Structure 1
Amino acid sequence: METADQLFYFQGYQSTGINQIIEEAKVAKGSLYNHFPSKSELGQAYVKESSERWFKGLEEELNLWTDPAEKLIAVFSFLEKYARINYFNGCRLINILTEVGDQEEQITTMAVAHKQKFREFLYQLTLKIFPDTEQAIEVSDTIYLLYEAASVESKIFKDQWPIQLARKNAEQVLKQNKIPNNQ
């Protein structure tokens, strides 16, 4: 899995063949096929593991904060670290999703489910700040879109500035929507 992760992420899912994974991982073909009968199943395992690892990293970062508003802004600190560690190569799930399109329905479904889980995570945090459901949805989806745009643009520019600007805009969104203390 470690070899497949590196190759799928840095070289691309479509550009990586099973024989290359077998050769670089130094495993027998039979061993790989015992665990993953097809490249598609290996791709699904990659998406599942990537999602789990990403959420674990996000939770570790957000555990440094107690205030829900600080946690919402801290998603951008996590993104900065994630981008730097991964040489600004972007989101693993967006990368594979753009590669496979409709060709790999299960991989697509799993990647979209990851993004929906992240939206729901942001929404639950936002509800702690804005009890009004409509407002919470709008604020959390705005932060979600800022995050995703920053992720893609930091990959394009190989730089932190999109993440920093997205964080600044997220802070503004929270300030503009702040509920007065007397309500």
Structure 2
Amino acid sequence: MSTTHASSLNHQRLIDAASALFFRDGINATGIAAVAEFAGVSKMTLYAHFASKDELIVAYLDQRNERWNAAVAQSLAAAELPADKLLALFDLHRQWLSDGGLRGCPYVNSAAEFPDRTHPVRLAVDRHKAGVKEHLLTLAQMAGLSEPQRLVRRLFLLLEGAFLTGALENDDSVFLVAKELAAELIAAAQPV
């Protein structure tokens, strides 16, 4: 195995380990040594890939965001009409909540652990949340819905609220209610 390939594998193993531990135990509760051990590498190897724990956290969040965007693209491709694509995002959020063991949103969890809005972790959280809003806005505009910005604020609140409530109540079926409310908002925003 080439040195470059081994380095790439170690880099990914570290992100995967961070992802598992940060999500399961919390970011501040998870030390660098635990991440390195979980990844099967030394702390020196970890620091060869990431200058700081903050850099590792941002890499974890950014890679999760890349996976999210790929899942969004796949989900949207399966729906035909823009309004149906908006509702498909509710199904996708529900799936990700369930797949995450109903442990909540890693971005909200990260924001709770890093209250400083200028911190690199919070900026990674903000990038992800802005991306979710951008998907909603693009779809609302494609559907020709009235007051798309206002609609996006409402749909985003439904998504976030359903994600948090689903985690708190250990019940992903709250997305069915959120999706039903979203359908009503979308129907009300249809051009006359």
Query: Are residues 1:178 and 2:187 paired?
Result: no
CA deviation map 1:47-103 (0-9, x unaligned): 111111111112211210121000000111101211111111111111111111118
User: C-alpha distance in 2, partners of 1:66/1:145?
Assistant: 24
Match of 2:87 in 1: 73
What letter corresponds to residue 20 of structure 2 in structure 1? Q
TM-score by length of 2: 0.88
What's 1:8 paired with?
22
Aligned 8 A contact 1:79 1:151 in 2 = yes
User: If the length of structure 1 is used for normalisation, what is the TM-score?
Assistant: 0.92
Range 67-76 or range 19-28, more displaced: 19-28
The Cα shift of 1:161 comes to 2.5
Distance, in Å, in 1 between the alignment partners of 2:153 and 2:98 is 25
C-alpha deviation, 1:104, in angstroms:
7.0
Distance 1:59 1:82 in 2: 14
Distance 1:44 1:13, change over 3 A: same
Give the C-alpha shift of residue 21 in structure 1.
0.9
Q: How many residues align?
A: 178
Q: Which contiguous aligned blocks of 4+ residues in structure 1 show a shift greater than 4 angstroms?
A: none
Bigger RCO of structures 1 and 2 (CA < 8 A, at least 6 apart): 1
Q: Which residue of 1 aligns with 2:4?
A: none
Give the residue type in structure 2 aligned to 1:162.
Answer: V
Q: How does 1:10-49 map to 2 (within 5 A)?
A: 10-49=24-63
Distance 1:178 1:103, change over 3 A: closer
d(CA) in 2 for partners of 1:131 and 1:89?
33
Q: Pick from 141, 146, 164 the counterpart of residue 127 of structure 1.
A: 141
**Counterpart check, 1:141 vs 2:153:** yes
- Take 2:117 and 2:76, find their aligned partners in 1: how far apart are those partners? 35
User: What is the aligned-residue identity percentage?
Assistant: 27
| Structure 1 vs Structure 2 CA RMSD | 1.4
Structure 2 segments unaligned to the other structure (5+ residues) = 1-14
